[in-house]
Amino acid sequence: MSTKWYYCKETFSTQEDVNQKVLDVKQRLDNNPTDWAIVKQLDGSDESGWVVPRAVLTDAEINNLNANNYYSCSSVVGSDTQIGISSAKTQAKVVEYRKEFCDYYQVNTVAQFTEVDGVITETTEYAPTNADMSGYV
């Protein structure tokens, strides 16, 4: 019989390991929008047409969008893409896509399970105890 933990589509052998993963995920959710959004700075306009470059913005660039530019923004886990949107709308989409990403990875749920001979015999789900992840879902 062994006890294991499941979080963000990964299995862990110790509670310390899953707790560290929770902290790592929280850090990324606070600072790394490229995990859930693909943002590009566009050239052109609605009238002339948009030119979408291959280059994607970095985390730092997404966290500091220029109010004078227009962008495309796509979800990493969903199917939504917006083209020719303002920096304010792009920021709102990045927040929306983060929630979608958090829902997909169930960042506010840890599953603890007991396994006997490869068969799961008991599962308990709970919110992470070392970080408040409820604000992301």
Question: Which residues, 6 or more positions from 47, have their beta carbon under 8 angstroms from its beta carbon?
Answer: none
Structural domain that includes position 132: 2-136
- How many domains is the chain partitioned into structurally? 1
Q: pTM value? A: 0.90
pLDDT score at 101: 97
Helix (H/G/I), strand (E/B), else coil: 97: helix
pLDDT score at 73: 98
CA distances (Å), origin 72, targets 4, 30, 52, 57: 41, 21, 8, 10
pLDDT tens per residue, the chain (137 residues)?
789 999 999 999 999 999 999 999 999 999 999 999 999 999 999 999 999 999 999 999 999 999 999 999 999 999 999 999 999 999 999 999 999 999 999 999 999 999 887 777 889 999 999 999 999 99
Helix (H/G/I), strand (E/B), else coil: 122: strand
pLDDT score at 122: 86
pLDDT score at 64: 97
CA 93/CA 72 separation, integer angstroms: 10
